[in-house]
Amino acid sequence: MGDRAVISNRTKNLGVYLHWYGYREFVESVLAYCNAKQYRSPDVDDEYGWARLCQVLGNTLGGNLSLGVGNFSKMDTDNWDNGTYIIDGWDIKERLYQHYQDEKMKDSMFENLKYINDKQPKQEQLKEEELRVFAELWEIKHIDRLNDERKSYIEEKIKMQKQEEKEKQSTENEQKVEKINDEKEQKTTLSDKKDDVMSKKDINEIIRDFEKDTQKPNGENEVKEQKVSYESINNYKGGKEIDR
């Protein structure tokens, strides 16, 4: 029989048929890889979006019977395997003719992306670090699709990231407060120095004004000397002039 599935979008004018590997984990991993490659989705570009999806699927699956493209209305959408996936962007948004519950992802998204990436031409492959970063972001966004072990790991990682962000924010706030206090202190110091300079200036002005006020004009403060003859001094005794 196979592991059949059809992939389409909300317009339902075109569909991609998978005879094998139609289970959800594989389909959503291929969609995620197209997203990681930043391909335009069928919703944005009806022609190139479907072409890029088929390109990745064809490279990954190989052979000549696993992949087909056709008019949605004529496809085996109710295939009693995986039914039909309705995508929006590069995410599965709806399932048609789903006759059983999906299993959780058995492998990590990074492992799945790496497998698909290795099947692509060398010049088309992404670096492992790019895949790792994207896979982690995908798992955070689709945490409900992970198995219990992987889910616990991601939840713990999210918790640690939030704690690190909280501590970082707290440190940044403390640095901002410290900077504000330093600026206030600098302004206070400058103000005190300015007041000190002004006080010294005022004192100097007061001294100059005092000296100016104590000096009378036209030399009135000068002591006038009067020359007295020696004979006149001898003519005085006890403040009286002596008769000769």
Ordered by start, the domain boundaries in the chain are 5-146, 151-199
Work out the mean pLDDT of the chain and round it to a whole number: 87
Distance CA 240, CA 155 (A): 122
Model pLDDT for residues 148-176, shown as the tens digit of each residue: 999 999 999 999 989 999 899 888 898 88
Check whether 230 has a pLDDT greater than 60: no
Q: At 244, is the pLDDT very low, low, confident or very high (cuts 50, 70, 90)?
A: very low
> What is residue 242's predicted lDDT score, i.e. its pLDDT?
46
Mean per-residue pLDDT, 184-202 = 70
Distance CA 10, CA 16 (A): 13
Mean per-residue pLDDT, 218-236 = 54
User: Are residues 137 and 32 in contact, defined by beta-carbon separation less than 8 angstroms?
Assistant: no
Residue of 185 and 44 predicted with greater confidence: 44
Mean per-residue pLDDT, 36-61 = 96
